[in-house]
Structure 1
Amino acid sequence: MEQTLTDSGWRGSPDVWLNAAYETLLDSGVDAVRIQTLSKKLNLARTSFYRSFEDREELLAALLARWREKNTGSILKQANAYADSLVEAILNVSDCWFNNEIFDSKFEFAIRSWAMQSPEILAEVHAADRARIRAIAEMFMRFGESEFAADVRARNIYLLQIGYISMQMSEDIALRMKRMPEYLKGFTGKPPKQKDLDRFFARHGITPEQMEAAHD
């Protein structure tokens, strides 16, 4: 007979409940993140939840904190990463859009969907947007752009990606990579150096042959 989590005497932990809440948020939205639903999902008694969180609101706050740390934190970190050139700096930020370990696009969509029904969460999202745009703008300013121009260029980069997420665009990664040189030219006004592109493509595991074969 298969041993259940409760049979084994395991009572869960904050991370277990939070991970279950995260998965439920992504799959079904915030309204489905309920203590009873999660207890059934985990095969744990509801009473064990209260050993980890005071109530559902504390669990939701923990979800929001995870999003801030993962997604906003990663953009700020990548925007401040060392770079020899502006193109390299932009590609550091672009790592967020191609690596789910750095930036979780599904989590981003779920939080923004939640914000559509909660003024408090919408305010959190707007604050995150401001912080992210500011970090990318400061990156441009480090390479000599004026504050105003840097803000506009930062918006070009950031709002493009948020558009991808909000529209749930499904696009082959090789095709997106194929478009990167033109995106970079638009972001900076100059064509990128091939060595910068080659490093970027290599760290995301995309070959020239894959890009050549990619099409709409």
Structure 2
Amino acid sequence: MAAVLDTKSQYTCVLSIVYGNRYDAGFVRLIMLSRDIHRNHKMPTASKPGRRGRPTGRAVLTPQDWFNAATDAILEGGFDQLRVLPLAKRLKVTRGSFYWHFEDLPQFIRQFLDQWQAQRMKGLRYWQPGLDPQLSPEQEVERVLLLMFEGPAVEFKRMKVEFAIRDFAQRDLYARDIVAAVDEARVEQTARLLEPLVADGSARGMAMIQYATVLGSVLLFRGQLGGERALQTIRQQWQALLQKPKVVTEHADTGAKAR
């Protein structure tokens, strides 16, 4: 019974038949090494494709990156600057990155407005009545007026974006509802703040006057030469107006006691 030859012997037999004696042991080892390399080599397998259109490298952006780019565009030219291609060029990516996050431009604008509303609502926590229990109603109004006229909420860039949104709301129903919700929340909270200082039933009306005064003053004077001084003067005059009824009452009470 023929013995089973090992691999090296098999190669030696084959080489003897083909080449006769014109080979050496080194040649056999070379042939075997080539075989082992070929056997152990793993062919590359195709990686599983990710989601179609998934951007890579610099194009891997978040929705917030696009919202920030939109804010910059609005500051430069209003809502008319919100177009997919210009925003993509601003971020140095292709439009595919935009459509990875958003279905279309209208959806993007709605989400941008939703975020603006959420941020404005969050900012109202600084206007809350009773935030500092140690302050009197007059002191609390003074604190809030300082924020409304001169605080970070009315910083020039923020207000420029807000006025652009208000302009857009004149021709877009979704934006109009967003602005209306923010206005209502601001007026309602201001009314609760003013209620201890004004006549019964007049808190909401006074709150609307105060709110309109703040927006109008910021629109007219913010960023203008001497504007900060003008805003300070308006704030002080409005604060004095709110305190005036109490002063009159105190004088009346003093006169009554003297008589």
Alignment match of 2:188 (pick from 134, 153, 158): 134
Q: Is the deviation greater in 67-76 or in 6-15?
A: 6-15
1:183 partner letter: W
1:38-78 residue CA offsets vs partner (Å, 9 max, x unmatched)? 00111111101122222212221222122212334323542
**Deviation, structure 1 residue 36:** 0.8
Determine the C-alpha separation between the residues in 2 that align with 1:70 and 1:37: 25
Residues 79 and 139 in structure 1, CA contact (< 8 A), matched pair in contact too: yes
1:147-199 residue CA offsets vs partner (Å, 9 max, x unmatched)? 5221122122111012224446534324432443322011332699xxxxxxx
Q: Does 1:100 align with 2:140?
A: no
Q: Name the larger-Rg structure.
A: 2
1:88 partner letter: Q
Q: Give the aligned partner of residue 215 of structure 2.
A: 162
2:211 partner letter: Y
Identity of counterpart residues, as a percentage?
22
Go from structure 1 to structure 2 and tell me whether the alpha carbon gap of 1:183 and 1:102 turns closer, same or farther (over 3 Å shift).
Answer: closer
Determine the C-alpha separation between the residues in 1 that align with 2:218 and 2:236: 21
Residues 182 and 191 in structure 1, CA contact (< 8 A), matched pair in contact too: no
Q: Does 1:23 align with 2:72?
A: yes
What is the TM-score of this pair, normalised by structure 2? Answer: 0.62
DSSP 3-state at the match of 1:148:
coil
DSSP 3-state at the match of 1:54:
coil
What is the TM-score of this pair, normalised by structure 1? Answer: 0.72
Determine the C-alpha separation between the residues in 1 that align with 2:119 and 2:58: 32
Determine the C-alpha separation between the residues in 2 that align with 1:97 and 1:16: 30
Q: Does 1:183 align with 2:232?
A: no
1:181 partner letter: Q
DSSP 3-state at the match of 1:12:
coil
Q: Give the aligned partner of residue 12 of structure 1.
A: 61
Determine the C-alpha separation between the residues in 1 that align with 2:92 and 2:81: 16
**Deviation, structure 1 residue 37:** 1.1
DSSP 3-state at the match of 2:142:
helix
Go from structure 1 to structure 2 and tell me whether the alpha carbon gap of 1:140 and 1:101 turns closer, same or farther (over 3 Å shift).
Answer: closer
1:160 partner letter: T
Q: Give the aligned partner of residue 99 of structure 2.
A: 50
Q: Give the aligned partner of residue 257 of structure 2.
A: none
2:87 partner letter: L
Residues 191 and 207 in structure 2, CA contact (< 8 A), matched pair in contact too: yes
Alignment match of 1:71 (pick from 120, 124, 132): 120
DSSP 3-state at the match of 2:238:
helix
Q: Give the aligned partner of residue 32 of structure 1.
A: 81
Alignment match of 1:172 (pick from 208, 227, 243): 227
Runs of at least 5 residues in structure 1 that lack an aligned partner in the other structure:
1-5, 193-216
1:105 partner letter: M
Alignment match of 2:165 (pick from 106, 111, 114): 111
Question: How many residues are paired up?
Answer: 186
1:99 partner letter: G
**Deviation, structure 1 residue 34:** 1.0
Determine the C-alpha separation between the residues in 1 that align with 2:124 and 2:64: 24
Runs of at least 5 residues in structure 2 that lack an aligned partner in the other structure:
1-54, 248-259
Q: Does 1:148 align with 2:201?
A: yes
